[in-house]
Amino acid sequence: MFFKKKSYLGIDLGANNIKLVELQASGKQFKLLTYGYVEKTVSDIVRDSSEDTIEQTAKLLKKLCQQTKVKTRQAITGLPSFSVFSSTFNLPKTKKSELIDRIRAEARKVIPVPLEEVALDWKILNNKEKDAQTVTVFLNAAPKKLIYRYQDVFHRAGLELTSLETEGFALVRTLIGKDPGNILIVDSSATTTDLILVRQGISLSCQTINLGGKIITQQMSKIMGVDNKTAEQFKRDYSLANQPLPEIIKQLLRPIIDALKYIIKDNEQQDKPIEKIILSGGSAFLPNLDKYLSETLNIKVIIGDPWHRLTYPQALRPILNELAPRFAISVGLALRELEK
């Protein structure tokens, strides 16, 4: 009768901001206790390991926890996909003890740094063929130096980092769940866009393109001959007015469109067509981006809703709708421990 339900923080340390949610299990659903975000003026700790960046990031995170009045100190965070080495390969079916040795041997071939410098994690994917003589392995390897950096930030912020995983896994958990389909997630941050191929609820591959919301704004400012602030306002005005995607943005999105076309065609040739694309991240709200991609690629495109499995006061729905794509990673991270 004195049992207290556990809650967990999902914290997304983005390049330009920090996003936080606190979730608690509530029957078969999950309760949103609090959420918040803060803009960052310091460098990204993934690219900058300086003492000042680590200290300032920790201070921002600690302040955000205070402002949102979090009830727990247990947190989960995610590593950007571009910072993690990933590979999928087949191995002969064998005993578990032998399989681990084979996976490590294969890892030495595909990971471009010594294994002593990375933390390895892998999943054995289900093979539906009864007589299959091979198993498919999805391998992740994260630099230990980067992991230590994240641990340092959370320790300084007064938080207990209970788990750390790649952001792609968090997105799959939030936006796809147990959907067995062949799905693409397009997640755009400030500086990059990840194209994540998901099949049977497993992230099979991730392609990172160096193009995100901030870079689009910078390129627009050059083309239009205006400052970044004016270019950003141009994007927002079009979005609020529900206007078609401007030609200038269509041109800038060309690398992403070309990459999506290649992935879609490659899967069709394997007789595993992509069923839909889910948009996530701040750039998901570019004016009518979902409609433009759907028409261009001839495929169903939707904006992901990370709140659909959560309970919360309905009065929050308008603001949560506005923030939805930006919080997909942090919600997925918080769900990691609650779903166990």
Q: Domain residue spans in the chain?
A: 7-82+144-177+305-338, 84-142, 206-302
pLDDT for res 121: 86
Using DSSP, state whether 321 is helix, strand or coil. helix
Cα torsion at 255, 258, 260, 265 (round to 10°)? -160
Mean pLDDT per 10-residue run, the chain (340 residues)?
A: 75 93 89 94 88 95 97 95 88 85 91 92 69 81 95 97 92 90 93 91 87 87 86 74 81 95 95 95 84 95 93 92 92 92
CATH architecture of 84-142: 2-Layer Sandwich (3.30)
pLDDT for res 75: 97
168 token code pair: 């792609």
Indicate the helix (H) or strand (E) that contains 120.
strand 118-125
Three-point CA angle 335, 28, 3, nearest 5°: 80
pLDDT for res 98: 87
* Alpha-carbon gap, residue 263 to 268, rounded angstroms: 9
pLDDT for res 220: 86
Beta pairing partners, 19 = 12, 37
Whether the CA torsion 155, 159, 162, 163 is positive or negative: it is: negative
CATH superfamily, with its number, for domain 7-82+144-177+305-338? ATPase, nucleotide binding domain (3.30.420.40)
pLDDT for res 340: 77
pLDDT for res 191: 87
**CB neighbours of residue 263 within 10 Å:** 17
Under 8 Å between Cβ of 274 and 232:
no
Q: Does the domain spanning 206-302 belong to CATH 1.10.540.10? A: no
Under 8 Å between Cβ of 306 and 175:
yes
* Alpha-carbon gap, residue 135 to 169, rounded angstroms: 21
Same fold, 7-82+144-177+305-338 and 206-302: yes
- Is pTM beyond 0.85? Reply is yes
- At residue 307, what is the residue type? W
pLDDT for res 61: 97
* Alpha-carbon gap, residue 327 to 14, rounded angstroms: 11
Can you tell me which residue has the tokens 């939707």? 302
pLDDT for res 329: 96
Cα torsion at 116, 121, 122, 123 (round to 10°)? 170
